[in-house]
Amino acid sequence: MEDIYYIEDDPDIANMVKEYLEQKNFRVKIWGTFAEAKCALKKHVPALILLDWNMPDGRGDGMCQYLRRNWKELPIIFLTVRGDSQDIVSGFQNGGDDYVVKPFELEVLYSRILALLRRAGNGAKQYLSCDGIEMDLNRRSVSCHSKEVDVSPAEYELLLYLMENKGKTLTRERILEQIWDVKGNYVNNNTLTVTMKRLRDKLCQPACIKTVRSVGYRMEDKI
């Protein structure tokens, strides 16, 4: 199930779109201002952004610039009230991938979303995030609250495994088998403890990485 963030200040339109897309097996979160969306993006990056052009705290092109500075491959669809050529040109110049003119048919929006996600391919799944921690899989980079963090290969693989299984409790044995044993590196139990401690220290002791006593670890969003 893919996540979509819909940045829209009209609750009637937003809720209609949300209800329709959730019937199509998407998870949709609505943000009524750019400020709210920016705050949410620091904790979790969705597969796609629906971006209304006119918002109470700015225009869509400015928000699109912000998105492109931080997540270059994140798919973005502009929603504009009119087929104004200047808005559309500005949107594409600032990094938009597609646009839909209001009023629109929900089926049309849905087909545009599917087409863009297909074109984006792995790019739509390039970013993993949890509570301010972000991974760019193409760059193999890790950042914490927008600051890049230097991690070792083992720390990266451990964080990636936790991210990919968010919400699941992973046993110590399973983690050891997945990260070390499958590569032929047979290690003792203490290796995981030391690697986890170093990773947590580098990420400023994040609350989203939980220790499940006598079992293992779990990563979970706070939102």
Residue 94 and residue 59 share a domain: yes
Residues 6+ apart with CB under 8 A from 64: 51, 76, 78, 91, 94, 95, 96
pLDDT at 42: 82
pLDDT at 106: 96
Q: List the domain range (segments joined by +) for residue 189.
A: 131-219
Residue 186 and residue 109 share a domain: no
pLDDT at 46: 92
Distance CA 7, CA 189 (A): 45
Q: What is the mean pLDDT of residues 65-93?
A: 79
Read off the tokens for 54: 């006119």
Distance CA 70, CA 150 (A): 18
Question: What H or E segment, with its residue span, contains residue 11?
Answer: helix 11-23
Lowest mean pLDDT, pick from 36-40, 90-94, 158-162: 90-94
Q: What is the mean pLDDT of residues 62-77?
A: 91
In this prediction, residue 44 has a pLDDT band, given cuts at 50, 70 and 90, of: confident
Q: What is the mean pLDDT of residues 113-142?
A: 86
Q: Which residue spans within 43-188 are E strands per DSSP?
A: 48-52, 54-55, 58-59, 76-80, 98-101, 127-130, 133-136, 141-144, 147-149, 169-171
Residue 175 and residue 158 share a domain: yes
Residue 116 and residue 13 share a domain: yes
Mean pLDDT (the chain) is: 89
Looking at per-residue confidence, does 51 or 89 come out higher?
51
Residue 176 and residue 149 share a domain: yes
As a whole number of Å, the CA-based R_g of the chain is 20
In this prediction, residue 89 has a pLDDT band, given cuts at 50, 70 and 90, of: low
Q: Which of 179, 184, 180, 139 is nearest to 159 (CA)?
A: 179
pLDDT at 120: 81
Residue 84 and residue 137 share a domain: no
Distance CA 145, CA 131 (A): 9
| Domain C-terminal end among 105, 125, 145 | 125
Q: What is the CATH number of the domain that holds 180?
A: 1.10.10.10
pLDDT at 186: 61
pLDDT at 223: 54
In this prediction, residue 162 has a pLDDT band, given cuts at 50, 70 and 90, of: very high
Q: What is the mean pLDDT of residues 191-211?
A: 95
Q: What domain count does the chain have?
A: 2
In this prediction, residue 87 has a pLDDT band, given cuts at 50, 70 and 90, of: low
Tell me what percent of the residues of the chain surpass a pLDDT of 70. Answer: 90
Q: For residue 180, is pLDDT > 90?
A: no
Q: For residue 35, is pLDDT > 80?
A: yes
pLDDT at 185: 64
Distance CA 128, CA 133 (A): 8
| Domain C-terminal end among 125, 154, 189 | 125
Read off the tokens for 49: 């952004």
Distance CA 202, CA 91 (A): 37
Q: For residue 200, is pLDDT > 60?
A: yes
Q: What is the CATH number of the domain that holds 26?
A: 3.40.50.2300
SS3 98: strand
Please write the tens of the pLDDT for every residue from 143-156. 998 889 999 999 99
Distance CA 132, CA 142 (A): 11
Cα dihedral sign, 91-92-94-99:
positive
